Amino acid sequence: MRALLLAAAALIAAPAAAQTIAITGGTVAIGDGSAPVEGGTVVIRDGRIVAAGRGVAVPAGAETIDATGKWVSPGIVAGIGSMGLVDASGVSDSNDSSARNSPYNAAIDVSTAINPDGVVIGNERAGGVTRAIVSADAAGSIFAGQGAIIDLGDDAQPVTRPRAFQYVELGEGGAERAGGSRPAAYVMLADAFEQAADYRRNPVAFDGRGRDALLKRADAQALLPVLDGTMPLVVHVERASDIRQVLTLPRRYPKLKLVLAGAAEGWMVAREIAAARVPVMASAIADLPASFEQLAATESNVGRLQRAGVTVGVLFDGSGGEHNLKQFAGNLVAIGKIPGAAGLSWGQALAAITSGPAEVMGIGGEIGSLRPGRRADVVLWSGDPLELSSLPERLWIDGKPQPMRSRQNRLRDRYLTPADGALPKAYTR
Amino acid sequence: MTRRGWAGATALALVLAGCAGDGGRPQSASAQPAKARAPAPGRDKGYAHDPFPSTYHAYPGVPTLVTNVTIYDGEGGRIDRGSVLFADGKVVALGQTVEAPAGATVIDGTGKWVTPGVIDIHSHLGDYPSPSVQALSDGNEATDPVTPDVWAEHSVWPQDPGFSRALANGGVTTLQILPGSANLFGGRSVVLKNVYARTMQAMKFPGAPYGLKMACGENPKRVYGGRNRKPATRMGNIAVDRATWARAVSYKRKWDRYEDEGGDPPERDIAMDTLRGVLAGEIRVQNHCYRADEMAIVMDMAKEFGYKVTAFHHAVEAYKIGDLLKQNDTCAAVWADWYGFKMESYDGIGANLALLEKEGACAMIHSDDANGIQRLNQEVAKALAAGRRAGVNISDAAAWRWLSYNPAKALGIEDRTGSLKPGKMADVVLWNGDPLSVYTRPEKVWVDGALLYDATDPNRRPVSDFELGQPGEGDVK
């Protein structure tokens, strides 16, 4: 029956989003912090989640996919990174993540450069990532520019939300980019906001096209939605005292919608962050004093922030690809078993890499969980999604089934036996 | 990898400070009239080969028996619901049942696992320590592409907080500290026991052979080509390598003759001492090399000059030449899934380790990273999963060789550590569950039978000098 339905779907070649899909019998994890339920059903219609959980009826005429013995979860929402901007990060020609020689900063808009055909997107999709939070790296200024939320679908429309946030460096990285000190970074921030306000008051008189203008016209324009609070300002800071300082910014700019990124020492000021209702894309398993602003880094950071009531998403700061966020989340469950540490429950851990980042970025109503109405970004896993032995078997983005082949798998298959055959390897495809 | 400066991002800074040493020169006899030939000192007796000797000592332990536990012996063996006994710093016995000697501490290992301590063949702890500030960045003597005269041990800062994380979170008991890969000949490595000490010498693994770090590919040609110096290309890399080995062969001939026959001692060259050691089989070549085609060239070069490459490190394309590596008896030390951060890593795949194993090649995991070293067991679990997805089924117990026995072999210390065999060092980890599960952590770690980490005892959690009196001191990390 299933094979027949798949064959029929292939024949009509219509957008699969138009149909109803029911994934039945699997262990279903909603991604909202709740515990997974066995024998659950996920129903998708027109690219959105209709329902997920136990006791969900399968609509008549739905394509049914048997997930018995397997797990079903929302796809990973990864970030903050450079997905879609980079082929090989060390090859500068292929890397659009920063623009050291550009006169512009806050105006830089990464959504203009997302390449859905990039190899990294295919590899990460096969690893279970369905959406990514993408930002430029700050180069000649504390402002990195306007980041985007993207999907990893195998189609030509990768951008879910362009200009989703402005990104700024205010710790050691900000000091370096502002000329050498943290106070200089704060002057740069305040002056940029002042100039944006000047520009708003009188655009004609605004100087920002001159060679010596400290802030270009385009940058001033880009900062207005930040001042209006219609675009979140993601601030990268790590040190506890830096976080406290950032939390004072709304006193001066009352509409500012702050998001913290990094916050390795966030746990030390968790109650203040919670009181300020500032969400955090948090450093999760970094536990080394890698710099003087991260002296108190610990794998308990996310657990302690969560316990204090902070809305948290796990920030990817590792290697090997952003799908390794699932490993990060698993480690947050593990650390909870060590006396003196703070971890997450399994449900919280999954949420910290799905709905958590979505909520932090203000897009939780659209993506990041299997709650009704969300975009149907669904992964069918061979087992527990956080476990190292589990891999995605099928994956949907906006309800559309996605190819699971990746360049890495192609290389693997070519070299399953390394010795040449009747023809060189170049003929094996 | 991002340059954003996240807490966990790997630092790959190159240091431009410092100057290459000019070896101590014994007085030349050339100005003096010919005398009777000086007596021959004997082979390898012409100069000190161990001028910075290990002062490591094992800390006291108590005879310990872990019962009802799953055991991976590190050589592929597995015992379910078995027991392991160690005393006086050595493994005494393991099996289905082992009698506890009087006075032994008995630990019920129900639901837990015992394995040999993890060995990381590629670490920069101590020479690129935390915090990763310029003042402590001592891993690359990037002032000349040929620096076999530098020794990583002279850069190791024994107060690196990273050692404690590798112990407590990673169960790492032995590690090789290498110079960086800016240079073709990067310098000597040092093998350490993961036990904090006041001096580097007191961490040194007694009697472990030295390694020579070499590098092919992008790094040397980028670093020196960028300064309009040789090498600026891959062919330049090999040209400088061969010219250097040719000098080393000649140096070895002179010193061998002097040590065997006496006469005037040849001029001493500290850099050449290291290469002579390689040609004599005393020092092992640990070769940073990503691409399959370059590894093949390097193995031919080794044959040309009469040395052996013990292991290729970062060998992301090793899976393309598993047969060739096996034929040359050369190991591959790899990450589980790092790829794509530069051109020569573009073809990295998760099944690398599994495909090497399938081909019968010697393979192992490595970290090259102060974060990765804390989760090498998890990296192996990912590599296993990628292999199984490709239809290569390797047992969990067999995979543990990638974590302990194979690196021990490549370091030349497999007769002393790397597996749980009676008489070997009691470098042991008790895991609070299946060590290939993401939900598992080390519960206790013993080095030479001494309990140096205990998750349930804050007094058995090392805190380096750097962290003392600073925010986060003594926290569970």
Asked if A120 and B340 come within 8 Å (Cβ–Cβ), the reply is yes
Cα separation, B196 vs B123, in Å, equals 16
- In terms of domains, do A87 and A98 share one? yes
| Residue labelled with tokens 């040999």 | B116
- In terms of domains, do A270 and A375 share one? no
Q: What is the pLDDT of residues A290-302, one digit of tens each?
A: 999 999 999 999 9
Cα separation, B93 vs B104, in Å, equals 13
Taking CA–CA distances from B443, the nearest residue in chain A reads A338
DSSP B329-370: T-EEEE-SS---SSGGGTT--TTHHHHHHHTT--EEE---ST
Peptide bond connecting A225 to the previous residue in cis, omega within 30 degrees of 0: no
Work out the minimum CA distance from B464 to partner chain A, whole angstroms.
Answer: 11
Look at residue B369 and tell me if it is in a domain.
yes
Q: What is the pLDDT of residues A22-79, one digit of tens each?
A: 999 999 999 999 999 999 999 999 999 999 999 999 999 999 999 999 999 999 999 9
Contact (CB, 8 A) for A35 and A78: no
Asked if A173 and B5 come within 8 Å (Cβ–Cβ), the reply is yes
User: How many angstroms separate the Cα of A141 from the Cα of each of A104, A111, A170, A235?
Assistant: 9, 20, 11, 13
Q: What is the pLDDT of residues A251-265, one digit of tens each?
A: 999 999 999 999 999
Task: Break chain A down into helix, strand, coil percent, rounded to 5.
Answer: 30, 20, 45
Q: How many CA atoms lie within 13 A of B279 on its CB side?
A: 23
Contacts for B83 with CB less than 8 Å, ≥ 6 apart: B65, B66, B67, B68, B69, B93, B94, B95, B96, B97, B98
- In terms of domains, do A35 and A96 share one? no
Q: What is the pLDDT of residues A199-210, one digit of tens each?
A: 999 999 998 877
> B314 contacts in A (CB within 8 Å)?
none
Which CATH number goes with the domain that contains A245?
3.20.20.140
Count the neighbouring beta carbons within 10 Å of the beta carbon of residue A47.
Answer: 18
Cα separation, B408 vs B404, in Å, equals 6
Q: What is the pLDDT of residues B54-77, one digit of tens each?
A: 999 999 999 999 999 999 999 999
Structure letter (DSSP) for residue A316: P
> A338 contacts in B (CB within 8 Å)?
441, 455, 476
Look at residue B344 and tell me if it is in a domain.
yes
For residue A319, give the nearest of B5, B218, B369 by CB distance.
B369
Choose among B101, B99, B107, B105: nearest CA to B69. B107
Task: Please state the ipTM of this predicted complex.
Answer: 0.94
Contact (CB, 8 A) for A62 and A22: yes
φ, ψ of residue A53 to 5 degrees: the values are 140, -165
Contact (CB, 8 A) for A243 and A273: yes
Cα separation, A166 vs A226, in Å, equals 7
- In terms of domains, do A19 and A146 share one? no
pLDDT of residue B3: 45
Contact (CB, 8 A) for A235 and A279: no
> B442 contacts in A (CB within 8 Å)?
none
Look at residue B414 and tell me if it is in a domain.
yes
- In terms of domains, do A413 and A305 share one? no
Work out the minimum CA distance from A167 to partner chain B, whole angstroms.
Answer: 11
Angle between helices B270-279 and B234-261 (to 10 degrees): 90
User: How many angstroms separate the Cα of B138 from the Cα of each of B151, B153, B217, B324, B351?
Assistant: 11, 10, 22, 35, 33
Query: Does residue A299 sit at the B interface (CB-CB below 8 Å)?
Result: yes
Look at residue B247 and tell me if it is in a domain.
yes
Query: Does residue A204 sit at the B interface (CB-CB below 8 Å)?
Result: no
pLDDT of residue B34: 54
- In terms of domains, do A422 and A331 share one? no
Taking CA–CA distances from A382, the nearest residue in chain B reads B389
Lookup: tokens for A302: 């996310």
Asked if B320 and A82 come within 8 Å (Cβ–Cβ), the reply is no
Cα separation, A293 vs B471, in Å, equals 10
Q: Which of residues 138-177 of A touch B (CB under 8 A)?
A: 172-173
> A335 contacts in B (CB within 8 Å)?
441, 476
Choose among A127, A320, A324: nearest CA to B316. A320
> A91 contacts in B (CB within 8 Å)?
342-343
Choose among B291, B286, B295: nearest CA to B344. B291
- Stretch (H or E) spanning A317: none
Query: Does residue A92 sit at the B interface (CB-CB below 8 Å)?
Result: no
Asked if A334 and B441 come within 8 Å (Cβ–Cβ), the reply is yes
Asked if A173 and B2 come within 8 Å (Cβ–Cβ), the reply is no
Lookup: tokens for A391: 């891999």
Taking CA–CA distances from B325, the nearest residue in chain A reads A418
pLDDT of residue A282: 98
Look at residue B13 and tell me if it is in a domain.
no
Asked if A137 and B2 come within 8 Å (Cβ–Cβ), the reply is yes
Peptide bond connecting A80 to the previous residue in cis, omega within 30 degrees of 0: yes
> A287 contacts in B (CB within 8 Å)?
165, 169, 374, 477
Work out the minimum CA distance from B372 to partner chain A, whole angstroms.
Answer: 9
pLDDT of residue B54: 98
Asked if B437 and A290 come within 8 Å (Cβ–Cβ), the reply is no
Q: What is the pLDDT of residues B280-320, one digit of tens each?
A: 999 999 999 999 999 999 999 999 999 999 999 999 999 99
Work out the minimum CA distance from A233 to partner chain B, whole angstroms.
Answer: 17
Asked if A294 and B320 come within 8 Å (Cβ–Cβ), the reply is no
Look at residue B337 and tell me if it is in a domain.
yes
For residue B320, give the nearest of A98, A236, A415 by CB distance.
A415
Asked if A418 and B347 come within 8 Å (Cβ–Cβ), the reply is no
Asked if A88 and B341 come within 8 Å (Cβ–Cβ), the reply is yes
Lookup: tokens for A353: 């890499």
Sequence length of chain A is 429
Greatest CA span in chain A, whole angstroms? 74
Quote the domain boundaries for residue A47.
1-75+369-429
Q: Which region, left, alpha or beta, applies to residue B359 given φ > 0 means left and ψ of -120 to 50 means alpha? A: alpha
Cα separation, B46 vs A122, in Å, equals 59
User: How many angstroms separate the Cα of B386 from the Cα of each of A392, B362, B373?
Assistant: 11, 18, 20
Contact (CB, 8 A) for B452 and B459: no
Work out the minimum CA distance from A254 to partner chain B, whole angstroms.
Answer: 28
Q: How many CA atoms lie within 13 A of A334 on its CB side?
A: 31
Query: Does residue A291 sit at the B interface (CB-CB below 8 Å)?
Result: yes
pLDDT at A98 over 80: yes
Contact (CB, 8 A) for A166 and A143: yes
Choose among B53, A124, B435, A359: nearest CA to A368. A359
φ, ψ of residue A403 to 5 degrees: the values are -65, 140
Choose among B275, B361, B373: nearest CA to B326. B361
Asked if B470 and A295 come within 8 Å (Cβ–Cβ), the reply is yes
Asked if A265 and B455 come within 8 Å (Cβ–Cβ), the reply is no
Contact (CB, 8 A) for B271 and B147: yes
pLDDT of residue B357: 98
Query: Does residue A340 sit at the B interface (CB-CB below 8 Å)?
Result: yes
Q: What is the pLDDT of residues A171-199, one digit of tens each?
A: 999 999 999 999 999 999 999 999 999 99
Lookup: tokens for A282: 């948090």
Contacts for B405 with CB less than 8 Å, ≥ 6 apart: B74, B75, B76, B116, B414, B418, B419
Contacts for A295 with CB less than 8 Å, ≥ 6 apart: A239, A265, A289, B131, B467, B470, B471, B472
Cα separation, B123 vs B142, in Å, equals 18
For residue A408, give the nearest of B1, B350, B371 by CB distance.
B350
Work out the minimum CA distance from A80 to partner chain B, whole angstroms.
Answer: 10
Contact (CB, 8 A) for A300 and A342: yes
Q: What is the pLDDT of residues A282-292, one digit of tens each?
A: 999 999 999 99
Choose among B354, B347, B301: nearest CA to B332. B354
- In terms of domains, do A148 and A271 share one? yes
Asked if B438 and A298 come within 8 Å (Cβ–Cβ), the reply is no
Asked if B382 and A327 come within 8 Å (Cβ–Cβ), the reply is yes
Q: How many domains does chain A have?
A: 2
**CA atoms B152, B154, B158, B159: torsion sign:** negative
> pLDDT 10s digit of each residue in chain B, 477 long?
344 556 555 444 333 333 333 334 444 444 455 567 789 999 999 999 999 999 999 999 999 999 999 999 999 999 999 999 999 999 999 999 999 999 999 999 999 999 999 999 999 999 999 999 999 999 999 999 999 999 999 999 999 999 999 999 999 999 999 999 999 999 999 999 999 999 999 999 999 999 999 999 999 999 999 999 999 999 999 999 999 999 999 999 999 999 999 999 999 999 999 999 999 999 999 999 999 999 999 999 999 999 999 999 999 999 999 999 999 999 999 999 999 999 999 999 999 999 999 999 999 999 999 999 999 999 999 999 999 999 999 999 999 999 999 999 999 999 999 999 999 999 999 999 999 999 999 999 999 999 999 999 999 999 999 999 999 999 999
Look at residue B411 and tell me if it is in a domain.
yes
Asked if B4 and A292 come within 8 Å (Cβ–Cβ), the reply is no
* C-alpha Rg value of chain A to the nearest Å: 23
Quote the domain boundaries for residue B213.
118-418
For residue B477, give the nearest of A287, A339, A412 by CB distance.
A287
pLDDT at A13 over 60: no
Q: How confident is the model at residue A14 (pLDDT cuts 50, 70, 90)?
A: very low
Q: What is the pLDDT of residues A107-133, one digit of tens each?
A: 999 999 999 999 999 999 999 999 999
The distance of Cα B309 from the centroid of its chain, to the nearest Å, equals 14
Structure letter (DSSP) for residue B425: B
Q: How many domains does chain B have?
A: 1
Query: Does residue A301 sit at the B interface (CB-CB below 8 Å)?
Result: no
Q: How confident is the model at residue A18 (pLDDT cuts 50, 70, 90)?
A: low
pLDDT at A213 over 90: no
| Residue of B23 and A344 predicted with greater confidence | A344
The CA-CA-CA angle for residues A149, A153, A155, to 5°, reads 110
Which CATH number goes with the domain that contains A10?
2.30.40.10
Q: Exposed/middle/buried for A390, CB within 10 Å: 0-12, 13-18, 19+?
A: buried
φ, ψ of residue A377 to 5 degrees: the values are -100, 100
Contacts for A196 with CB less than 8 Å, ≥ 6 apart: A215, A220, A221, A223, A224, A226, A227
Contact pairs from chain A to chain B, CB under 8 Å: 219
Choose among A386, A328, A321: nearest CA to A31. A386
Give me chain A's average pLDDT, please.
95
Contact (CB, 8 A) for B366 and B122: yes
Asked if B2 and A81 come within 8 Å (Cβ–Cβ), the reply is yes
pLDDT of residue A210: 77
Q: Which of A349, A367, A385 is the last residue of a domain?
A: A367
Asked if A90 and B441 come within 8 Å (Cβ–Cβ), the reply is no
DSSP A225-278: HHHHTSS-EEEEE-SHHHHHHHHTHHHHSTT--EEEEE-TTGGGGHHHHHHTT-
* C-alpha Rg value of chain B to the nearest Å: 23
Which CATH number goes with the domain that contains B332?
3.20.20.140
Asked if A327 and B342 come within 8 Å (Cβ–Cβ), the reply is no
- In terms of domains, do A336 and A389 share one? no
Choose among B64, B266, B10, B200: nearest CA to A90. B10
> A299 contacts in B (CB within 8 Å)?
169, 476-477
Strand partners for A78 = A132
For residue B8, give the nearest of A265, A286, A408 by CB distance.
A286
